[in-house]
Structures are given as C-alpha cells and as structure tokens.
Amino acid sequence: MGESGKNIAKLFDGLAVADTQVVLFMDEVEAIGASRGARTGGQCDDEKNSALTVLLRKVEEFNAGYFIAATNMPDNIDAALWRRFNMQIGIALPGADERFAILKRYLSPFTLPDDDLDCLAEATDGASPALLRELMEGIKRGLIVRPRLRLAIDSAPEMFAAIISATMPPPEMEVPKLWSRADTLKSLSRLSWPPIRMGAP
C-alpha cells in the first residue's frame, strides 16, 4: 500500500477510537476519488487506485460520526465512491442577485451605486463566490496601493484587466465572460469609478 493509502488508513483508524463523534470533511475529493476508468495506468495511477481502494473500505466501515466530501468535478468521481454517500447535494453557481450581494459584501468598505453593482453582476456571470471575492479583494488592494505607486485608479477597465490577468477560475470551470470577452471588460467604462470609501467626507 502506498503512502497515500497508509495515511488514509491512519486517519480513519485514529478517528475510530475517538471519545466523541466527529465530522470528517475532505475537500477536493476527486484528487483521490477520481474514476478509475479514466486512468491510463502507470505508477501514479497505481498509487491513486490503491488509495481509493483504502478510502472505499474505510468509508464503508466508518461509524465514528459524519464523513463529508466536496468536489468541483462530480462527473469525475468514481461510481463506487458515490455509492458510499447517503446524500449528494449540488451547489450551483450564484445567480445575478447572489453575485450582486457577494460583490457588495467584498467591496466593503468601498461602495458603488446599485446600478453599477448590477452591471458588475452581469459581467461576472459564471463566476464562483471564491472568484468574486478574489476580484473584489484585488480591486480594494488596487484602490489603496496604486495611488502610492503613482498609478491611476480612474479607469475601471484598466483596474479589472490587471486583476483578471492574475485571477483565473480553476481549469475545470468555464471561464466567465469578464475573463474571456474584451467587450465585457470594455463595458465597465460606464461605471461610476472609482468606488467611494464608506464614511469618507
């Protein structure tokens, strides 16, 4: 058994003797639980197959609490692993109203008019909450740092272009249009820019 399989076994064996019920959360479970049919062979795939076999057995035996896993690639999860879960919950990408709320929250303490946030919500169609947060955090950093570097902050397209070039969605997700379409980026020129810091005179 490879090191990954040994580590999985140690984890579950340790939890099995815990004095209390536990919640075990495994993020990006596709790293171990990817479908075996999609693998091409070789030492790396042998290691992954071994680790998955251990995981399947340990999940089946697990009675020390709750086992929860998350993935951005549900279509790639091995069918045998899917069957180990009593419930699967899909979480869709945020709609326009949700994107509006996320953008507004992470732009704080800066603010834009609601019409401008609506425009941004439309431009970021297809973006995940994490990507929206990265985008707004980048804008806030730019609003603070760029003036110190004697760089302008009066062009929304220029600021967004700098951020999206360094902030890309994960490869398994479709690229939102702000990241892929020049006309969408250019449309941000109509925003009331730059954002105003709340409470500023």
**pLDDT tens figures, 94-132:** 999 999 999 999 999 999 999 999 999 999 999 999 999
Distance CA 165, CA 195 (A): 21
Distance CA 192, CA 144 (A): 17
Residue 109 in any domain: the answer is yes
What is the average per-residue pLDDT within 11-16? 90
Q: Which of 109, 113, 173, 154 is nearest to 136 (CA)?
A: 109
Specify the pTM.
Answer: 0.72
Query: Residues 69, 102: contact at Cβ < 8 Å?
Result: no
- What separation, in Å, do the N-terminal and C-terminal C-alpha atoms of the chain show? 65
Are 75 and 110 part of one and the same domain?
no
**pLDDT tens figures, 125-179:** 999 999 999 999 999 999 999 999 999 999 999 999 999 999 888 877 889 999 9
Residue 89 in any domain: the answer is no
**pLDDT tens figures, 24-72:** 999 989 888 888 766 555 566 677 888 899 999 999 999 889 999 999 8
CATH number at residue 11: 3.40.50.300
Please tell me whether residue 197 adopts helix, strand or coil conformation. Answer: strand
* Residue 28 belongs to domain spanning: 3-82
Are 29 and 108 part of one and the same domain?
no
Residue 56 in any domain: the answer is yes
34: which strand partners?
A: 77
Question: In sequence order, what are the residues at sequence separation of 6 or more whose Cβ sits closer than 8 angstroms to the Cβ of residue 17?
Answer: none
CATH number at residue 167: 1.10.8
Are 104 and 150 part of one and the same domain?
yes
Domain count across the chain: 2
